[in-house]
Structure 1
Amino acid sequence: MRIRSPFSVAFVAALLAGCSSGPDFESPAKPTSTAYTPEALALQTSAAGGPGGTAQAFVPARDIPGDWWTLFHSPQLDTLVKEALHANPDIDAAQAALRQARENFYAQQGSLFPTFSANGSGQQQLASPAAQGQTGAGVIYGVTSASLNVSFSPDVFGGVRRQVESKEALAEVQRFQLEATYLSLTSNVVVAAINLASLQAQIDATHDIIRILQNSLTVVRRQFDLGGASRADVLAQEATLTQTQATLPPLEKQFAQQRNQLMRLVGRPPDQDRGESFDLSKLTLPQELPVSLPSQLVEQRPDVRAAEAQLHSASADIGAAVANQMPQFTITGALGFTSAGISSLIVPGSGVWSIGLGIAQTLLDGARLDHQRKAAIAAYERAAAQYKGTVLSAFQDVANALRALQTDADALRTQVQAEQTAAASLRLSEQQYQLGAVNYLTLLNAQQTYQTAVINRLKAQATRYSDTAALFQALGGGWWNRGDVDPKSMGKPGYFALPPVQDIKLPRAGH
């Protein structure tokens, strides 16, 4: 038989090959920006004396190592990051979320294949002649049947393929959220270690300042005993000492809380602290820092890639919604046997078969399907706006980090100079006070200035280290140079599977 109708030809072609509904996804255009700040930033920061004062150079388009934290050259830090990557429960949760998304994707793929099922039944029945108004013994007869059934819904308009595409994109969302979890964890561990080192240095510096104030109090008291100082001078020095001692408990509190946070990050309870300590002076400040181009940044940032995958999923959902408004086709078939008993199940003449084609088209549903399509379009527009916002936030993070590193270097240089000047002023004031050349107020001001300068210098040092870590985080952390995804989290498609034996629980006797 020849098919002459053009509609019939088109229908058969569509039935065999299928078509796609809705828009085909295209990745958003890459940004055309060539810089992160309106003005050109210097390619090198200023330098300062002492630890953390090294000048840092920005190297455009340089690749980021996957283990960027090793650039601080701290074996203890490397060990803690490695421990966190293996023991932090957030990583396990992210891996499980990826496994779930991948399995949902494979499950949706199963909708593209026919479904086969086997059915069997047997029945014995006693028929009484009395039901027909007759007399005599009852007749026992049975009906036994077995069949193999197949059902297939051809994806004529591509709705199922769009659903598969959406699920695959959602799996990509989880893939990049996993990378974001790794990036956030490694950055938080590094910053926590830097904060610990800073707080420990501030505590040590405060103890040193307390010793200086105690020595000065001894001198003032001696001067008072000799008549060279007033009682007010002694009380003022005691008050300064007490005020400085009062700054220790808040620092120790912050130190304890920061250590507890670090234990949480590495997957330990607080009582399993092993006494790891960090010294700012022993951390190496990376001298060469990468600066990716804006067009590269959208490929490197896990949050941007996740937002793009979410946009892809929303695009595919539009196609699925459009396909739902089209005719739905179903092909069914059955092949089996039926007879009056098991012994005569497979005998000549007992075979049965059937085949059918079903077509369903929604005619009136209160515009439900159309509103679902419009909702899918709105979801896509929302995802597109969120993607743009994520890209802008990524640019903002990099711009903030670059600006911070420039100003951090200048701030540290100024703080180092301020500390050196304050230290020299304090030494001179102490000598002159002992000789009676200056009054007590001059000495007290010199002590307070030195105390403030030391703490500010330590904070400025720590800020340079933490903002360096922030730049690596803002640029994506080099996840593409690591293998963060557990192969088990990717799974693999299957075609025939039964539940695991250990998951089948039979009822026990008496229950």
Structure 2
Amino acid sequence: MNRTTLTTLLAVTILAGCAAGPDFKRPDAPHADRYTAQPLNLERKNPRTASAQQAILGEQLDQAWWQLFQSDALNGVVKRALAQNRSIVAAGYTLAQAQELAAAQAGTLYPRVGMTAGVGREKYGAEFLGTSPKPPPFTYFAVGPTISYSLDYTGGGARSVEQQNALASYQRQQLKAAYLTVTGNAVLESLKIASLRAQIATVQTLLDEDRENLKLVHEAFDAGSVSRLDIVSADSQLATDTALVPPLRQELSLAQHALAIVLGQAPAEGTLPEFDLAQLTLPRRLPVSLPSELAHRRPDILAAEAELHAATAAVGVATSNLYPHLDLSASFSQQSTVIGQLFASGSSAWSLAGGFVAPVFDGGTLRAKRRAAVDAMQASAAKYQQTVLTAFGQVADSLQALDHDTEGLDAQTRAQQAACDNLDLTRKSYREGNIGVLQVLDAERRYQQASLAYVRIRAQRYMDTAQLFLALGGSGPEVDAHPGQGSRRSD
């Protein structure tokens, strides 16, 4: 090989190595320092009331965020869910699969060594030997190692390994997302159960009052101070309020079934805690990561980043396919027609070979595939940006909801107290004969609506607090493939 040929080959190698890009660059963190356009009451350093919550921007969420509700029952449910939920098991094995595929791809960068052995019997024909003397049929034996190696001078193999590692990183974030989903569902369903039980208890209290009111009306009727219409009206109110219970119990059953499934069990199996809002503590301090930190902790954002990394590496793979490929191989063997002389000094045989394959004409296939890979990379970049915006929107929504919850609770507390005072005065006036039963029923209806609304807004604060922690990406232990799987498996 002359100097010109060597120079040309070296230049092609250098150019090809440079072309197997682009290198992945992690997207810059967003520059925003807040989530909402206007400051919230939630962000005040000195809350107006002792029950008000306060968002602490820049503070990291505790690792086990559900423990902020200070409920042993809730902590136990989350622990059971993490141990038994099938979605987490599936995500763990999927991560193990991705890690194994990445390890398999990494192995292609190394030489492949094999061992061959063979035995056969042959007879040469006249067309092969011509007029030469024809040897009799013979038996041959051969044994020896072989080595093959694809020279990755374009970087395509390294890009393929990079792509598989990025896909494994994507599955790791999917496993984290599964953890977040399971813990979130366990907490939200538990809070829903507590809310519905509180609402049912409130309605039962109202029913007791309805029965007491009906008793008073009967007593007044017996005394001749009211008509039968008053009895019918009071009885109608009791029937109307009684109709509120079945839908609430149905919702409670659905929430209990959903929680059982999160725990990895059928609804008919096992028992669930009887959650009570009074046994839960509403977190007053709300750690809220800055937007720049959120982009580096939410599993869906990190998964989108890993997808972008894989798509970028795929461009490098497609680029390397535009250049020649060089394959090297070598073999050494012992060959003999007599097995006893197989390892004699004269029975050695070897070979060295190199294959250089360059694309010349393919109808534009390879370049079209590279353009497609670039398009996929651009799509992944846009998807990443949209994922970040969606995450910011969810945090903003949760913060705004909590801000409104505080206002709503204050207003509903006043409304409930006013309705309670009005009901007491109305009943007193009814006993004194100053008003009719319809006014009492109207006052009861207002008190009922105010009481249920108070329970719901109080429970909603717990739900929206949990939603905020989920929107912030939660926080949990570092996850890996299912125990015994992935890179730790020895078989």
TM-score range, shorter chain: over 0.9
The one-letter code sitting in structure 1 at the alignment partner of 2:74 is L
Of the three residues 464, 479, 482, the one matched with 1:484 is 479
* Correspondence for 2:8: 7
* Correspondence for 2:20: 21
* Correspondence for 2:226: 229
Counterpart Cα distance in 2 of 1:253 and 1:9: 76
* Correspondence for 1:32: 31
The one-letter code sitting in structure 2 at the alignment partner of 1:41 is L
Q: How does 1:107-506 map to 2 (within 5 A)?
A: 107-124=104-121, 139=136, 141-479=138-476, 482-486=477-481, 488=483, 491-492=486-487
The one-letter code sitting in structure 2 at the alignment partner of 1:388 is Q
The 3 A distance-change label for structure 1 pair 487 and 217 is closer
Q: Please identify, of 303-312 and 426-435, the stretch whose mean Cα deviation from structure 2 is larger.
A: 426-435
**Percent identical across equivalent pairs?**
35
The one-letter code sitting in structure 1 at the alignment partner of 2:25 is E
The one-letter code sitting in structure 2 at the alignment partner of 1:29 is D
SS at match of 1:337: strand
The 3 A distance-change label for structure 1 pair 56 and 220 is same
SS at match of 1:299: coil
Point out where structure 1 has 5 or more consecutive residues left out of the alignment.
133-137, 501-511
Deviation at 1:252, TM superposition (A): 0.7
* Correspondence for 1:507: none
SS at match of 2:22: coil
Q: Please identify, of 269-278 and 236-245, the stretch whose mean Cα deviation from structure 2 is larger.
A: 269-278
Deviation at 1:229, TM superposition (A): 1.8
Counterpart Cα distance in 2 of 1:255 and 1:167: 45
The 3 A distance-change label for structure 1 pair 190 and 493 is closer
Counterpart Cα distance in 1 of 2:157 and 2:77: 46
The one-letter code sitting in structure 2 at the alignment partner of 1:260 is H
Counterpart Cα distance in 2 of 1:489 and 1:442: 71
Counterpart Cα distance in 1 of 2:276 and 2:296: 35
Counterpart Cα distance in 1 of 2:381 and 2:92: 26
Counterpart Cα distance in 1 of 2:125 and 2:110: 48
Is the 2:260–2:272 Cα contact (8 Å) retained in structure 1?
A: no
The 3 A distance-change label for structure 1 pair 155 and 141 is same
Deviation at 1:274, TM superposition (A): 1.6
Counterpart Cα distance in 1 of 2:277 and 2:417: 19
SS at match of 2:470: helix
Is the 1:47–1:409 Cα contact (8 Å) retained in structure 2?
A: no
Is the 2:35–2:395 Cα contact (8 Å) retained in structure 1?
A: yes
Is the 1:115–1:151 Cα contact (8 Å) retained in structure 2?
A: yes
The one-letter code sitting in structure 1 at the alignment partner of 2:7 is P
Counterpart Cα distance in 2 of 1:78 and 1:365: 61
Counterpart Cα distance in 2 of 1:177 and 1:362: 39
Counterpart Cα distance in 2 of 1:181 and 1:324: 37
Q: When the two structures are superposed, what TM-score results if normalisation uses the length of structure 1?
A: 0.89
Q: Deviations over 1:372-420 (max 9, x none)?
A: 1111011111111110110000000110011011100111111121111
SS at match of 2:346: coil
SS at match of 1:338: strand
Q: Does 1:68 align with 2:69?
A: no
Counterpart Cα distance in 2 of 1:220 and 1:367: 92
Counterpart Cα distance in 1 of 2:366 and 2:329: 26
Counterpart Cα distance in 1 of 2:109 and 2:408: 63
Q: Deviations over 1:421-465 (max 9, x none)?
A: 111211221121111111112101111011111111111011100
Is the 1:106–1:493 Cα contact (8 Å) retained in structure 2?
A: no
Q: Please identify, of 6-15 and 113-122, the stretch whose mean Cα deviation from structure 2 is larger.
A: 6-15
Is the 2:233–2:438 Cα contact (8 Å) retained in structure 1?
A: no
The one-letter code sitting in structure 2 at the alignment partner of 1:186 is T
Counterpart Cα distance in 2 of 1:493 and 1:191: 35
The one-letter code sitting in structure 2 at the alignment partner of 1:286 is P
Q: How does 1:72-87 map to 2 (within 5 A)?
A: 72-87=69-84
Deviation at 1:139, TM superposition (A): 4.9
Point out where structure 2 has 5 or more consecutive residues left out of the alignment.
130-134
Q: When the two structures are superposed, what TM-score results if normalisation uses the length of structure 2?
A: 0.93
Q: Please identify, of 412-421 and 92-101, the stretch whose mean Cα deviation from structure 2 is larger.
A: 412-421
Is the 2:93–2:481 Cα contact (8 Å) retained in structure 1?
A: no
Is the 1:120–1:146 Cα contact (8 Å) retained in structure 2?
A: yes
The 3 A distance-change label for structure 1 pair 34 and 158 is same
The 3 A distance-change label for structure 1 pair 12 and 438 is closer
Q: Deviations over 1:145-196 (max 9, x none)?
A: 1121111111010011111111111111111111111111111111111110
Q: Deviations over 1:319-343 (max 9, x none)?
A: 1001111101100111001110221
Counterpart Cα distance in 1 of 2:13 and 2:353: 16
Is the 1:87–1:267 Cα contact (8 Å) retained in structure 2?
A: yes
Counterpart Cα distance in 2 of 1:489 and 1:90: 17
SS at match of 2:345: coil
Counterpart Cα distance in 1 of 2:440 and 2:375: 70
